Amino acid sequence: MKAFNTQVVILMGPPGAGKGTQAELLSEKLNLSYIETAKLLEAKFWNAKVNESMEGVDGNAYDLLHEKNLWATGILCSPPFVTAVLNEKFRELHKEGKGLLLAGSPRTLYEGEKELPVLEELYGKENIHIILLELSEEQTLYRNSHRRICELMRHPVLYTKETENLTICPLDGSKLLRREGLDDSETIKVRIKEYQERTLPVVSYFEQSGFEVQKVNADQSVADVFSDIFKALNLA
């Protein structure tokens, strides 16, 4: 078995494909540090003050409250800002001797072009594995409009045949709720369009850069998707 503290696994796929759920499972199983862009950004925004900014990878200053506002309306944050946040985290975790798991990142071609070289420099091309979770547009819409999170820990609960009748969080027993804002039908449509127009080109970029992108059918149970990812990583 590979030493996974020297590896990078990148999970790509539309919103609702189960990237977060699979990332939680994989990071635990393989002892990888799960880099969740949404959580990193939320942490940056949590204490953001008026006029507070951060330097992006293009050298410009990005206003945190402006970025927070983009985020809240379903539009992707400015790529040079997001990329700076991520690259900072990659270097920090590499220094700590950790392997990485990325889910839903890079989100744009810009991020991909600026992040992949950093990952290659730190971990080496042969240690970077890219998995694309595939889900039809119909399923993507359906799953997103039914997605819930738990009241206590905000655990996301994917909408599948196995989970549709759940009313409490399987991990902590708290109530399941719909997410305000991010899961309104208009916001969902914006997020899906952003994925198709801005994130999918990253997958082509990976392929053009000589990486093998392994495709996994996401329209299966969580356990089956997990097992397929495992096979794709050549660990089974």
Please give the residue ranges that form the binding site for Zn ion (CB under 5 A). Answer: 150, 153, 155, 169, 171-172
Which residue type does 18 have?
G
For the CB of residue 170, give the shortest distance to Zn ion in the complex, in Å.
8
Least distance in angstroms from the C-beta of 157 to Zn ion: 8
Task: Report the b/e string of 27-40 with b at 16+ CB within 10 A.
Answer: beebebbbbbbeeb
Tokens for 35?
A: 């880099």
The overall longest dimension of the chain from CA atoms, in Å, is 50
Question: Nearer to Zn ion by C-beta: 132 or 169?
Answer: 169
Nearer to Zn ion by Cβ, of 65 and 152: the residue is 152
Of 44 and 155, CB closest to Zn ion: 155
* Pairing verdict, β 33-36 and 100-103: parallel
* CB 158, min distance to Zn ion, A: 13
Min separation Cβ 68 and Zn ion, Å: 25
Query: Strand 156-157 vs strand 148-150: parallel, antiparallel, or unpaired?
Result: antiparallel
Q: Are 225 and 133 within 8 A, CB to CB?
A: yes
Chain Cα centroid distance, residue 1: 25
Who contacts 2 (Cβ-Cβ below 8 Å, separation ≥6)? Answer: 235
Which of 116/150 has CB closer to Zn ion? Answer: 150
Structure tokens at 51: 């006029």
Residue with Cβ nearer Zn ion (154 or 193):
154
State which residue, 19 or 155, has the beta carbon closest to Zn ion: 155
Show the 3-state SS of 82-144. HHHHHHHHHHHHHHCCCCEEEECCCCCHHHHHHHHHHHHHHHCHHHEEEEEEECCHHHHHHHH
CB of 66 to Zn ion, least distance (A): 32
| Closest distance to Zn ion from the beta carbon of 174 (Å) | 5
